[in-house]
Amino acid sequence: MNRLAGKTALVTGSSRGIGRAIAVRLAREGALVAVHYAVNEQAALETVTTIEKEGGRAFTVRAELGTPGAVHTLFTGLEQGLKERTGEATLDILVNNAAVTGMDGFSPEDVTQEQLDRYFEVNAKAPFLIVQRVLTNMPSGGRVINISSGLTRFANPGQVAYAMTKGALEQVTLHFAKHLGPRGITVNTVAPGITDNGGPIFDVPEAVEQMAGLSVFNRVGEAGDVADVVTFLATDEARWITGAFLDVSGGTLLR
């Protein structure tokens, strides 16, 4: 299929995990993809190689979100990469996927101010600033897709700080969807449940079994389960969906 032929996409945090799967699928549909990463250049290059082996087009962009000037650095690299390949800096699809993840601490009392600041800088402020900045590049028909988490609707006290930042990101969806409707741009949230991102915990059978039990399908999500939904939202088929929260948790939120 070639549903995104002629389109350009930026997937933040696509060196690994869910972001990589999104980048690969968008490219498979014909999009030129900017593979963004923070530090792991080797992994980002592997994403590009995977895309190129399938006949797609991609390039890497580095910017460590949450550090001063990161959004400027990101767009300098993005625009240069796009101009070299297309002659212009138009960006059709933005996927705000990069995030600091993991457990905050064993209980909410253990959350430090430094942790809170870091989570908010990377997971909430950076995506907001990226959406704000991308508007000069994004034409009518554009897509903004924010990757949140089922944790905004599922209490897990040990991850309250992380979940707070995802709640903030969902507000970016809500308000920008209304703001950008007149420009023909859709803005949506995709909320994964526990998803195998290649991290070491997914090599521990007992842990995987326990995590699988959270889904009504009794398995953990694959990165592709999330990436397929993001890809759909990026296509013209999803033109009438905006401001939505898509639960992509394998039914975890039904419990």
Catalytic positions are 162
Q: How many Cα atoms are found within 13 Å in the side-chain-facing hemisphere of 77? A: 20
What is the full DSSP assignment across 51-66?
HHHTT-EEEEEE--TT
Q: Does 195 bind ligand NDP (CB under 6 A)?
A: yes
The residue count for the chain: 255
Please, are residues 18 and 195 in contact by the beta-carbon 8 Å criterion?
yes
Q: Does 100 bind ligand NDP (CB under 6 A)?
A: yes
The encoded tokens of residue 145 equal 């897709």
Please, are residues 12 and 96 in contact by the beta-carbon 8 Å criterion?
yes
Q: Does 250 bind ligand NDP (CB under 6 A)?
A: no
Closest contact distance (angstroms) between CB of 216 and ligand NDP is: 16
Size of the site for ligand NDP (CB under 6 A): 27
The residue within the footprint of ligand NDP, chosen from 24, 34, 37, 231 (CB under 6 A), is 37
Q: From residue 101, how far is each of 82, 118, 161, 247 by CA, in Å?
A: 29, 11, 10, 18
Please, are residues 69 and 45 in contact by the beta-carbon 8 Å criterion?
no
Stretch that binds ligand NDP, among 2-10, 49-57, 95-103, 171-179 (CB under 6 A): 95-103
Q: Please report, as residue ranges, which positions from 110 to 139 form the binding site for ligand NDP (by CB under 6 A).
A: 122
Q: Does 82 bind ligand NDP (CB under 6 A)?
A: no
For the chain, the first-to-last Cα distance in angstroms comes to: 36
| DSSP at 218 | S
Closest contact distance (angstroms) between CB of 106 and ligand NDP is: 19
Site string for ligand NDP, 145-184 (x = CB under 6 A): --x-x-----------------------------------
Q: Does 65 bind ligand NDP (CB under 6 A)?
A: yes
The encoded tokens of residue 166 equal 């995802």
The residue within the footprint of ligand NDP, chosen from 56, 66, 81, 250 (CB under 6 A), is 66
Q: Within a 10 A sphere around the Cβ of 207, how many other Cβ atoms?
A: 13
Stretch that binds ligand NDP, among 32-40, 53-61, 174-182, 228-236 (CB under 6 A): 32-40
Stretch that binds ligand NDP, among 1-9, 99-107, 153-161, 235-243 (CB under 6 A): 99-107
CA distance 77 to 85: 13
Q: Which residue has the tokens 């639960």?
A: 247
Interacting residue ranges for ligand NDP, rule: CB under 6 A:
13-19, 37-40, 43, 64-66, 97-101, 122, 147, 149, 192, 194-195, 197
